[in-house]
Structure 1
Amino acid sequence: MLGPALIFLSDDGLFPNSSLPVLYYNQVITKDGDNNSIEFIKLFNSYNWTNHWVGGIHTIHHYHSNTHEVLGVIKGGTTLMLGGDNGQKLDIEQGDVLVIPAGVAHKNLRSENQVLCVGAYPEGRGYDMNYGTSGERPLVDRNIGSVSIPDTDPIYGKEAGLPKIWPHYFSFNQ
Protein backbone atom coordinates (compact mmCIF):
# COMPACT_ATOMS: atom_id res chain seq x y z
CA MET A 1 0.00 0.00 0.00
CA LEU A 2 1.27 3.42 -0.94
CA GLY A 3 0.88 6.56 1.12
CA PRO A 4 -2.43 8.35 1.13
CA ALA A 5 -3.83 10.63 -1.54
CA LEU A 6 -4.28 14.17 -0.21
CA ILE A 7 -7.54 16.02 -0.80
CA PHE A 8 -7.55 19.76 -0.07
CA LEU A 9 -10.76 21.62 0.73
CA SER A 10 -11.09 25.26 1.71
CA ASP A 11 -13.70 27.18 3.67
CA ASP A 12 -16.68 27.78 1.39
CA GLY A 13 -18.45 30.18 3.77
CA LEU A 14 -20.94 27.54 4.83
CA PHE A 15 -18.57 24.72 5.81
CA PRO A 16 -15.27 25.57 7.51
CA ASN A 17 -13.37 22.59 6.06
CA SER A 18 -9.67 22.64 7.01
CA SER A 19 -6.13 23.60 6.08
CA LEU A 20 -5.36 19.92 6.74
CA PRO A 21 -5.93 17.58 3.79
CA VAL A 22 -8.28 14.63 3.88
CA LEU A 23 -6.16 11.47 3.72
CA TYR A 24 -7.44 8.72 1.40
CA TYR A 25 -5.88 5.27 1.72
CA ASN A 26 -6.87 2.88 -1.06
CA GLN A 27 -7.39 -0.80 -0.21
CA VAL A 28 -5.96 -0.98 3.31
CA ILE A 29 -7.74 -4.28 3.91
CA THR A 30 -8.13 -6.43 0.82
CA LYS A 31 -9.90 -9.40 2.38
CA ASP A 32 -13.47 -9.95 1.35
CA GLY A 33 -15.62 -11.05 4.22
CA ASP A 34 -17.56 -10.42 7.37
CA ASN A 35 -14.44 -9.95 9.50
CA ASN A 36 -13.47 -6.61 7.93
CA SER A 37 -15.08 -4.72 10.81
CA ILE A 38 -12.97 -6.67 13.30
CA GLU A 39 -9.83 -6.09 11.23
CA PHE A 40 -10.41 -2.33 11.06
CA ILE A 41 -11.27 -2.09 14.76
CA LYS A 42 -8.08 -3.97 15.68
CA LEU A 43 -6.01 -1.76 13.38
CA PHE A 44 -7.53 1.50 14.65
CA ASN A 45 -7.29 0.35 18.29
CA SER A 46 -3.59 -0.40 17.88
CA TYR A 47 -3.01 3.30 17.18
CA ASN A 48 -5.49 4.65 19.77
CA TRP A 49 -8.28 5.58 17.36
CA THR A 50 -11.29 4.31 19.32
CA ASN A 51 -14.92 5.16 20.25
CA HIS A 52 -15.98 3.00 17.30
CA TRP A 53 -19.28 2.82 15.54
CA VAL A 54 -20.40 0.65 12.62
CA GLY A 55 -22.94 1.96 10.13
CA GLY A 56 -23.58 3.87 6.93
CA ILE A 57 -22.59 7.42 6.06
CA HIS A 58 -25.20 10.17 6.35
CA THR A 59 -26.78 11.47 3.15
CA ILE A 60 -26.64 15.08 4.32
CA HIS A 61 -23.61 17.34 4.62
CA HIS A 62 -22.21 17.15 8.14
CA TYR A 63 -18.93 17.64 9.97
CA HIS A 64 -17.38 17.39 13.41
CA SER A 65 -15.85 20.50 14.97
CA ASN A 66 -14.26 18.87 18.00
CA THR A 67 -12.36 15.90 16.55
CA HIS A 68 -10.93 14.28 13.45
CA GLU A 69 -12.55 11.07 12.17
CA VAL A 70 -11.40 7.90 10.44
CA LEU A 71 -13.72 5.79 8.27
CA GLY A 72 -12.81 2.25 7.23
CA VAL A 73 -15.10 0.83 4.54
CA ILE A 74 -16.05 -2.72 5.53
CA LYS A 75 -18.69 -3.43 2.89
CA GLY A 76 -20.07 -1.89 -0.28
CA GLY A 77 -19.09 1.42 -1.76
CA THR A 78 -20.40 4.87 -2.53
CA THR A 79 -19.53 8.33 -3.77
CA LEU A 80 -18.85 10.96 -1.13
CA MET A 81 -19.06 14.70 -1.55
CA LEU A 82 -16.30 16.27 0.54
CA GLY A 83 -16.24 19.95 1.46
CA GLY A 84 -19.83 20.92 0.63
CA ASP A 85 -21.72 21.27 -2.65
CA ASN A 86 -18.73 22.84 -4.41
CA GLY A 87 -16.23 20.38 -2.96
CA GLN A 88 -14.80 17.20 -4.41
CA LYS A 89 -16.40 13.85 -5.15
CA LEU A 90 -14.60 10.70 -4.06
CA ASP A 91 -15.53 7.11 -4.81
CA ILE A 92 -14.82 4.76 -1.91
CA GLU A 93 -15.17 1.00 -1.68
CA GLN A 94 -14.61 -1.93 0.62
CA GLY A 95 -11.12 -1.83 2.12
CA ASP A 96 -10.56 1.92 1.75
CA VAL A 97 -9.82 4.29 4.64
CA LEU A 98 -10.51 8.01 4.85
CA VAL A 99 -9.13 10.32 7.56
CA ILE A 100 -11.32 13.42 7.75
CA PRO A 101 -9.99 16.49 9.57
CA ALA A 102 -12.22 18.37 12.01
CA GLY A 103 -14.42 20.81 10.11
CA VAL A 104 -14.51 18.96 6.79
CA ALA A 105 -18.04 18.40 5.51
CA HIS A 106 -18.84 14.98 4.11
CA LYS A 107 -21.99 13.56 2.56
CA ASN A 108 -22.94 10.21 1.02
CA LEU A 109 -24.33 10.83 -2.47
CA ARG A 110 -26.02 7.42 -2.60
CA SER A 111 -28.16 5.65 -0.01
CA GLU A 112 -26.88 5.58 3.57
CA ASN A 113 -26.81 1.78 3.68
CA GLN A 114 -25.02 1.35 0.35
CA VAL A 115 -21.79 1.44 2.32
CA LEU A 116 -20.92 0.07 5.76
CA CYS A 117 -18.05 1.63 7.70
CA VAL A 118 -16.20 1.50 10.97
CA GLY A 119 -15.73 5.03 12.29
CA ALA A 120 -13.33 5.99 15.09
CA TYR A 121 -11.71 9.03 16.69
CA PRO A 122 -8.23 9.78 18.04
CA GLU A 123 -7.94 8.88 21.72
CA GLY A 124 -11.61 7.86 21.68
CA ARG A 125 -12.90 11.41 21.63
CA GLY A 126 -16.59 12.07 21.53
CA TYR A 127 -17.85 13.90 18.48
CA ASP A 128 -20.36 16.63 17.77
CA MET A 129 -22.57 16.93 14.69
CA ASN A 130 -22.77 20.11 12.64
CA TYR A 131 -24.65 20.69 9.41
CA GLY A 132 -23.59 24.08 8.04
CA THR A 133 -26.60 25.87 9.51
CA SER A 134 -26.72 29.51 10.51
CA GLY A 135 -25.53 30.15 14.03
CA GLU A 136 -22.90 27.37 14.12
CA ARG A 137 -20.08 29.74 13.45
CA PRO A 138 -17.96 31.24 15.05
CA LEU A 139 -18.21 28.62 17.85
CA VAL A 140 -17.31 25.73 15.55
CA ASP A 141 -14.38 27.72 14.15
CA ARG A 142 -12.98 28.05 17.69
CA ASN A 143 -13.57 24.34 18.29
CA ILE A 144 -11.78 23.36 15.09
CA GLY A 145 -8.89 25.66 15.91
CA SER A 146 -8.38 23.90 19.23
CA VAL A 147 -8.25 20.36 17.79
CA SER A 148 -4.64 19.20 17.75
CA ILE A 149 -2.94 16.89 15.29
CA PRO A 150 -3.10 13.32 16.62
CA ASP A 151 0.15 11.61 17.56
CA THR A 152 -0.70 8.63 15.40
CA ASP A 153 -2.08 7.76 12.01
CA PRO A 154 -4.88 5.14 12.26
CA ILE A 155 -3.07 2.94 9.71
CA TYR A 156 0.67 3.50 10.27
CA GLY A 157 0.92 4.80 13.83
CA LYS A 158 3.78 7.25 14.40
CA GLU A 159 5.90 6.01 11.50
CA ALA A 160 4.07 7.45 8.49
CA GLY A 161 0.91 9.09 7.25
CA LEU A 162 -0.86 11.71 9.31
CA PRO A 163 1.92 12.66 11.82
CA LYS A 164 4.36 13.13 8.92
CA ILE A 165 1.93 14.90 6.56
CA TRP A 166 -0.43 17.11 8.57
CA PRO A 167 2.17 19.23 10.41
CA HIS A 168 3.16 20.72 7.03
CA TYR A 169 -0.37 22.07 6.53
CA PHE A 170 -1.46 22.88 10.07
CA SER A 171 -2.53 26.43 10.79
CA PHE A 172 -4.34 27.80 13.81
CA ASN A 173 -6.79 29.39 11.40
CA GLN A 174 -7.84 26.07 9.94
Structure 2
Amino acid sequence: MNSSDLQTYLYADDGLIPNHPTLPVLHYRGVMQRPAETEACFNKNGWLNSWTNGVFSYHHYHSNTHEVLGIIRGNAILQLGGSKGDQLKVQAGDVIVLPAGTGHKKCSASADFKVVGAYPDGMDYNVRTGEQGERPQVLEEITRVPLPTTDPVFGANGPLLHQWNSDLI
Protein backbone atom coordinates (compact mmCIF):
# COMPACT_ATOMS: atom_id res chain seq x y z
CA MET A 1 0.00 0.00 0.00
CA ASN A 2 1.41 3.39 -1.00
CA SER A 3 1.17 6.25 1.46
CA SER A 4 -0.88 8.15 -1.13
CA ASP A 5 -3.52 5.41 -0.91
CA LEU A 6 -4.19 6.26 2.76
CA GLN A 7 -5.95 9.45 3.71
CA THR A 8 -6.74 10.53 7.26
CA TYR A 9 -9.39 12.93 8.53
CA LEU A 10 -9.88 14.25 12.06
CA TYR A 11 -13.17 15.95 12.92
CA ALA A 12 -14.07 18.19 15.83
CA ASP A 13 -17.25 17.83 17.86
CA ASP A 14 -19.88 19.90 16.05
CA GLY A 15 -22.32 20.05 18.96
CA LEU A 16 -24.53 17.26 17.57
CA ILE A 17 -22.08 14.68 16.26
CA PRO A 18 -19.24 14.22 18.76
CA ASN A 19 -16.72 12.60 16.42
CA HIS A 20 -13.64 11.14 18.10
CA PRO A 21 -11.49 13.63 20.01
CA THR A 22 -8.11 12.09 19.03
CA LEU A 23 -8.42 9.28 16.47
CA PRO A 24 -8.61 10.05 12.75
CA VAL A 25 -10.80 8.38 10.14
CA LEU A 26 -8.67 6.19 7.85
CA HIS A 27 -9.58 5.94 4.16
CA TYR A 28 -7.72 3.20 2.30
CA ARG A 29 -8.31 3.91 -1.39
CA GLY A 30 -8.55 0.85 -3.66
CA VAL A 31 -6.94 -1.44 -1.10
CA MET A 32 -9.22 -4.44 -1.74
CA GLN A 33 -8.23 -5.89 -5.11
CA ARG A 34 -11.04 -8.46 -4.76
CA PRO A 35 -13.93 -6.57 -3.11
CA ALA A 36 -15.99 -9.78 -2.83
CA GLU A 37 -13.40 -11.03 -0.29
CA THR A 38 -13.68 -7.96 1.96
CA GLU A 39 -15.82 -9.57 4.67
CA ALA A 40 -13.54 -12.62 4.88
CA CYS A 41 -10.52 -10.31 5.18
CA PHE A 42 -12.11 -8.30 8.00
CA ASN A 43 -13.16 -11.46 9.84
CA LYS A 44 -9.72 -13.06 9.46
CA ASN A 45 -8.24 -9.95 11.08
CA GLY A 46 -10.60 -10.00 14.07
CA TRP A 47 -13.15 -7.47 12.85
CA LEU A 48 -16.37 -9.44 13.31
CA ASN A 49 -20.14 -9.04 13.83
CA SER A 50 -20.14 -8.23 10.12
CA TRP A 51 -23.07 -7.34 7.90
CA THR A 52 -23.69 -6.43 4.24
CA ASN A 53 -26.02 -3.61 3.23
CA GLY A 54 -25.80 0.12 2.54
CA VAL A 55 -25.16 3.20 4.68
CA PHE A 56 -27.99 5.15 6.34
CA SER A 57 -28.91 8.38 4.54
CA TYR A 58 -28.92 10.36 7.81
CA HIS A 59 -26.10 11.43 10.11
CA HIS A 60 -25.38 8.77 12.70
CA TYR A 61 -22.50 7.37 14.72
CA HIS A 62 -21.62 4.57 17.12
CA SER A 63 -20.50 5.64 20.59
CA ASN A 64 -19.59 2.17 21.84
CA THR A 65 -17.33 0.79 19.09
CA HIS A 66 -15.15 1.60 16.12
CA GLU A 67 -16.45 0.49 12.69
CA VAL A 68 -14.93 -0.52 9.38
CA LEU A 69 -16.80 -0.10 6.09
CA GLY A 70 -15.58 -1.89 2.97
CA ILE A 71 -17.12 -0.86 -0.34
CA ILE A 72 -17.82 -4.10 -2.21
CA ARG A 73 -19.95 -2.79 -5.12
CA GLY A 74 -20.69 0.49 -6.79
CA ASN A 75 -19.77 3.95 -5.59
CA ALA A 76 -21.16 6.64 -3.33
CA ILE A 77 -20.67 10.02 -1.77
CA LEU A 78 -20.43 9.64 2.02
CA GLN A 79 -20.37 12.56 4.40
CA LEU A 80 -18.09 12.04 7.38
CA GLY A 81 -17.82 14.13 10.53
CA GLY A 82 -21.37 15.49 10.64
CA SER A 83 -22.91 18.37 8.69
CA LYS A 84 -19.64 20.34 8.80
CA GLY A 85 -17.54 17.36 7.71
CA ASP A 86 -16.24 16.20 4.35
CA GLN A 87 -18.03 14.51 1.48
CA LEU A 88 -15.89 11.64 0.22
CA LYS A 89 -16.26 9.78 -3.04
CA VAL A 90 -15.85 6.06 -2.37
CA GLN A 91 -15.90 3.09 -4.73
CA ALA A 92 -15.57 -0.67 -4.75
CA GLY A 93 -12.23 -1.64 -3.20
CA ASP A 94 -12.12 1.27 -0.73
CA VAL A 95 -12.11 0.73 3.05
CA ILE A 96 -12.98 3.35 5.66
CA VAL A 97 -12.22 2.91 9.36
CA LEU A 98 -14.40 5.08 11.58
CA PRO A 99 -13.35 5.73 15.17
CA ALA A 100 -16.13 5.60 17.77
CA GLY A 101 -18.24 8.76 17.67
CA THR A 102 -17.52 9.61 14.03
CA GLY A 103 -20.58 10.77 12.12
CA HIS A 104 -21.32 9.28 8.73
CA LYS A 105 -24.15 9.22 6.21
CA LYS A 106 -24.78 8.39 2.56
CA CYS A 107 -25.45 11.45 0.40
CA SER A 108 -25.83 9.62 -2.90
CA ALA A 109 -24.93 6.24 -4.38
CA SER A 110 -25.05 4.11 -7.48
CA ALA A 111 -27.93 1.63 -7.65
CA ASP A 112 -25.58 -1.30 -6.95
CA PHE A 113 -23.82 0.29 -3.92
CA LYS A 114 -23.06 -2.24 -1.16
CA VAL A 115 -20.78 -2.18 1.85
CA VAL A 116 -19.58 -4.68 4.41
CA GLY A 117 -19.35 -3.38 7.96
CA ALA A 118 -17.60 -4.96 10.95
CA TYR A 119 -16.35 -4.15 14.45
CA PRO A 120 -13.14 -4.98 16.35
CA ASP A 121 -13.49 -8.27 18.21
CA GLY A 122 -17.14 -8.41 17.12
CA MET A 123 -18.25 -5.66 19.48
CA ASP A 124 -21.95 -4.82 19.50
CA TYR A 125 -22.84 -1.42 18.10
CA ASN A 126 -25.43 1.21 18.88
CA VAL A 127 -26.84 3.85 16.54
CA ARG A 128 -26.82 7.45 17.74
CA THR A 129 -28.06 10.43 15.75
CA GLY A 130 -26.98 13.48 17.73
CA GLU A 131 -30.07 13.94 19.85
CA GLN A 132 -29.49 16.31 22.78
CA GLY A 133 -30.42 13.63 25.32
CA GLU A 134 -27.47 11.47 24.21
CA ARG A 135 -24.89 13.65 25.96
CA PRO A 136 -22.93 13.43 28.24
CA GLN A 137 -23.26 9.61 28.24
CA VAL A 138 -21.99 9.17 24.66
CA LEU A 139 -18.93 11.34 25.31
CA GLU A 140 -17.99 9.02 28.16
CA GLU A 141 -18.70 5.90 26.09
CA ILE A 142 -16.45 7.10 23.26
CA THR A 143 -13.49 7.53 25.61
CA ARG A 144 -13.93 3.99 26.96
CA VAL A 145 -13.82 2.22 23.56
CA PRO A 146 -10.54 0.25 23.46
CA LEU A 147 -8.09 0.58 20.61
CA PRO A 148 -8.26 -2.33 18.15
CA THR A 149 -5.43 -4.84 18.31
CA THR A 150 -5.42 -5.40 14.54
CA ASP A 151 -5.94 -3.50 11.32
CA PRO A 152 -9.08 -4.78 9.53
CA VAL A 153 -7.21 -5.17 6.23
CA PHE A 154 -3.56 -5.80 7.14
CA GLY A 155 -3.87 -7.52 10.53
CA ALA A 156 -1.05 -7.09 13.03
CA ASN A 157 1.10 -4.92 10.74
CA GLY A 158 -1.40 -2.43 9.36
CA PRO A 159 -1.40 1.36 9.19
CA LEU A 160 -4.23 1.57 11.73
CA LEU A 161 -1.86 0.39 14.47
CA HIS A 162 0.56 3.21 13.66
CA GLN A 163 -2.09 5.89 13.08
CA TRP A 164 -4.03 5.04 16.24
CA ASN A 165 -1.12 4.08 18.49
CA SER A 166 -1.83 5.54 21.92
CA ASP A 167 1.79 6.75 22.14
CA LEU A 168 1.17 9.03 19.15
CA ILE A 169 -2.06 10.57 20.43
Taking structure 2 as the reference length, the TM-score comes to: 0.92
What aligned pairs does 1:34-53 form with structure 2 within 5 A after superposition? Answer: 36-37=35-36, 39-53=37-51
Structure 2 residue runs without a partner (length 5+): none
Structure 1 residue runs without a partner (length 5+): none
Post-superposition offset of 1:41: 1.5
Q: Are 1:109 and 2:111 counterparts?
A: no
2:133 counterpart SS class: coil
Q: Are 1:148 and 2:146 counterparts?
A: yes
- Deviating beyond 6 angstroms after TM superposition, the runs of 4 or more aligned structure 1 residues are none
Aligned length: 165
What aligned pairs does 1:82-161 form with structure 2 within 5 A after superposition? Answer: 82-110=80-108, 115-161=113-159
Instruction: Decide whether aligned partners of structure 1 residues 136 and 81 sit closer, same or farther in structure 2, where only a CA change above 3 A counts.
Output: same
1:103-126 CA distance string (max 9 Å, x none) = 000010015965200000000011
Q: Which amino acid aligns with 2:118?
A: A
Q: Which amino acid aligns with 1:63?
A: Y
Counterpart residue number, 2:10? 8
Taking structure 1 as the reference length, the TM-score comes to: 0.89
Aligned-pair identity in percent equals 43
Post-superposition offset of 1:160: 2.4
2:134 counterpart SS class: coil
Q: Distance in 2 between matches of 1:56 and 1:41?
A: 14
Post-superposition offset of 1:2: 2.1
